[in-house]
Amino acid sequence: MSEGTTDQPPGTQSAATQPTSTDSGPERWFDPSWTKVHPLSPFVRGWVTVIAIPGIVFGYNWQMWADAWQAVQSGEIQRDVSANPMPFILGGVGALLIIVLIFGSFVLTWWFTRYKITAEHVMVKSGVFVRQHRQARIDRVQAVDLRQPLAARITGLAELKFEVAEGDGTAATLAFLKKAQAEELRAEIMDRAAGNPPSSPTTAQDSTGPVPGAEPEGTATADGEWRAPADSHSQPTAPPGSPDRLVAKVPTGRLIGSVLSGWGTIFVLLLILVAVGAVIAGLITASLDPAEGFGAVWPVVAALGIPTFLPMAIAAITIYYQQFSSGFGFTSTATSAGLRIRYGLLETTNQTIPPGRVQALQVQQPVLWRPFKWFRIVVTVAGYGIGEKRSVLLPVGRIEDVMATVAEMFPDLQVENPEEVFTAGLLNSGTELNFTEVPRRARLFDPYVRRRRGFRTTPAALMFRDGRAARRLTMIPHERIQSLSMHQGPLQRGRAVADIFVHSPAGPFQSRLKNQDLDAVQELFEYESAQAATARRYSDRNHWMRPEELQEFERKAAEATAPADGDAEAPASTADQPESPDHQAPADQQVQARHGTAEDHQEEERHLRER
């Protein structure tokens, strides 16, 4: 059975599909080139079962076990065993059989779970009765996550998750390996996904020792897979001249404040007010009947309140814990392979998100965060799906943290004043810096956010801003725009406005803008049809970054995060010329002011061809 497989190039065949004996002989499911995961992997995955079964057995009828213990202490059990031993023998054999079955299933799961890394694929085979073969193309890897649940942290193990562009789920998971081994393997996979040949052929070897008949450790095999010493503790390092650089860090106090200033706190306060109101109503009712008092009313209040409020209280505590755990110890570090983020309280996760794989980015400011000037950043990465936990690029941060993080994803907006453009999109409203707004003729549709809701384009990205109470700024690289659509209802047709949809892979947000001027929307369609096609033609199709692109990215990121130099001159761009006070510029000049001239695009294409 094959799940999550991808097609291999014509004329190639991996070792997993090559016959190991004669052409007429049966194909072996495993050959010596496949590597087993760590022997403790089944116990790390199933530790909850190991603990839950005794808990259920002993907790189902606690009084029965208490009576049995008293019988043992009094000697009654010993007399019963001497008189009739057969029931006790059968019970002991049954309990032993259950234990053997549980541990036997763990051993079989470990034995039949193996993986192999080739020059093109990460492949994982598993299953005893129903077999699965999952593989992910290395050049299509979107991100590599290193995860450590609580049991894995105790045993020093880690799992790797490979996300690819072909679907919304995880393409392949290696669970579990030694942590140092997993870090080395992740670094090697990221280098290969970036299109860089490995400095030395490496992969994770079987943690139980060398495989008989396999090639020596640290050498490449004949069919292209690569191996590393099993007990290697070398840490992945950035390329020379590219040291890791801390981008943002979330203090624990700020994280607690952001969790408590969410809508969950408002909900909890409402529950408390309702509970207090119920108690007051009970006291008033009890005062009407002094003979009975509150004791007669309390059972009714408890019978109605506990079944209602207890589940809500548990849900609120769970939500608080999840939000706190997903942001605890959060740090983001710029590396040669992308932005590496780390977070987690009991379960730690290390993600590496390359800028070239980000489909869209959104900066959010909930209304309750505005007094504290806090923001959050989420991204859409192909393969992550709608799971917002892994899509958070910054759980909470100030404006300087936001600008430093966004600069890693968009190191150059290719405009004269990128900080002003970004700040205007995040905080301001109106048509300054060539942002659009909802036309006055459609102000009945959006009376509150009319001047805030709009878009603008730069040579590097399309920017949507929306929301007045809860602000949002969405940025989509031109080369990542899959398609655009325009929706117009009957009332919108009467006002000559339309909604814009930018189609991208599933993620935590949608790129949508409502009630924009119809002419501006049609103009955006024409612009993106040319700009997005040109950007895709010169963007990296399979790999994260080539060496020369990496150097250019690091240079632009350093310039974007460095203090502005008033004497430095930036290239002129007609996209940043402010509109004249009378707003009566000709239509062709307005097109050039919003999107740039054709000569700008031709010059940009020429530079891209030279690169």
**Alpha-carbon gap, residue 534 to 71, rounded angstroms:** 83
Helix, strand or coil, per DSSP, at residue 512:
strand
Side-by-side strand order, sheet with 338-343: 172-178, 157-164, 141-148, 348-353, 338-343, 331-335, 245-249
pTM greater than 0.75? no
Q: Which residue has the higher pLDDT, 494 or 52?
A: 494
Helix, strand or coil, per DSSP, at residue 288:
helix
**Alpha-carbon gap, residue 570 to 608, rounded angstroms:** 19
**Alpha-carbon gap, residue 15 to 144, rounded angstroms:** 24
Question: For position 70, what pLDDT does the model report?
Answer: 80
pLDDT in tens, 225-284: 434 333 333 333 344 445 788 999 999 999 999 999 988 888 888 888 887 877 777 677
Side-by-side strand order, sheet with 483-487: 483-487, 497-503, 511-517
Question: For position 227, what pLDDT does the model report?
Answer: 40
Residues 364/471, Cβ–Cβ less than 8 Å: yes
Q: How many CA atoms lie within 13 A of 176 on its CB side?
A: 23
Q: Which residue has the higher pLDDT, 226 or 50?
A: 50
Segment 341-361 mean pLDDT: 88
Is residue 564 scored above 50 in pLDDT?
Answer: no
**Alpha-carbon gap, residue 454 to 211, rounded angstroms:** 61
Structure token digits, residue 110: 């470990």
Q: What angle do CA 296, 297, 300 make, to 5 degrees?
A: 115
Is residue 382 scored above 80 in pLDDT?
Answer: no
Kindly provide the b/e burial profile for residues 184-216, where b requires at least 16 CB atoms within 10 angstroms of the residue's own CB: bbbbbbbbbbbbbebeebbbbbbbeeebeebbe
Which residues, in sequence order, are CB contacts of 605 under 8 Å at separation 6+?
A: 534, 538
Question: For position 483, what pLDDT does the model report?
Answer: 86
Residues 346/150, Cβ–Cβ less than 8 Å: yes
DSSP labels, 382-423: TTTTT-HHHHEEEEEE-HHHHHHHHHHH-S---SS-HHHHHH
Q: How many CA atoms lie within 13 A of 512 on its CB side?
A: 6
DSSP labels, 176-194: EEEHHHHHHHHHHHHHHHT
Residue 207 binned pLDDT confidence (cut-offs 50, 70, 90):
very low
Neighbours of 417 (CB within 10 A): 15
Kindly provide the b/e burial profile for residues 389-403, where b requires at least 16 CB atoms within 10 angstroms of the residue's own CB: ebbbbbbbbebebbb
Segment 118-142 mean pLDDT: 83
Question: For position 21, what pLDDT does the model report?
Answer: 38
pLDDT in tens, 513-561: 999 999 999 999 888 888 877 776 666 544 555 556 556 666 666 666 5
Is residue 101 scored above 80 in pLDDT?
Answer: yes
Number of H-type helices and E-type strands within the chain: 18, 20
**Alpha-carbon gap, residue 159 to 567, rounded angstroms:** 50
Helix, strand or coil, per DSSP, at residue 376:
strand
Q: Round the average pLDDT of the chain to a whole number and report it.
A: 75
**Alpha-carbon gap, residue 377 to 397, rounded angstroms:** 9
**Alpha-carbon gap, residue 153 to 40, rounded angstroms:** 12
Strand partners, 463: 456, 475
Burial label, 2 (beta-carbon count in 10 A; 0-12, 13-18, 19+) = exposed
Q: What angle do CA 130, 131, 135 make, to 5 degrees?
A: 145
Give the lowest-confidence range in 58-62, 82-86, 378-382, 505-509: 58-62
Cα–Cα distances in angstroms (integers) from residue 398 to residues 152, 325, 412, in the given order:
33, 20, 21
Structure token digits, residue 22: 């004669």
pLDDT in tens, 166-183: 555 566 788 899 999 998
Q: Which residue has the higher pLDDT, 460 or 382?
A: 460
**Alpha-carbon gap, residue 365 to 361, rounded angstroms:** 14
Nearest to 439 by CA among 524, 522, 519: 519
Helix, strand or coil, per DSSP, at residue 303:
helix
Percent of the chain with pLDDT over 70: 67
Is residue 436 scored above 50 in pLDDT?
Answer: yes
**Alpha-carbon gap, residue 218 to 16, rounded angstroms:** 20
Is residue 411 scored above 70 in pLDDT?
Answer: yes
Helix, strand, coil content of the chain in percent (nearest 5): 45, 20, 35
Best mean pLDDT range from 163-167, 266-270, 443-447: 443-447
Segment 327-351 mean pLDDT: 90
Segments of 402-491 assigned E as strands: 454-457, 461-466, 471-477, 483-487
Question: For position 165, what pLDDT does the model report?
Answer: 65
Q: Which residue has the higher pLDDT, 379 or 279?
A: 379
Is residue 360 scored above 50 in pLDDT?
Answer: yes
3-state secondary structure 547-573: HHHHHHHHHHHHHHHCCCCCCCCCCCC
pLDDT in tens, 573-606: 333 433 433 333 333 333 343 444 445 545 555 5
Kindly provide the b/e burial profile for residues 230-258, where b requires at least 16 CB atoms within 10 angstroms of the residue's own CB: bebeeebeeeeeeeebebbebeeebbbeb
Residue 569's region, left for phi above 0, alpha for psi from -120 to 50, else beta, is beta
Strand partners, 477: 461
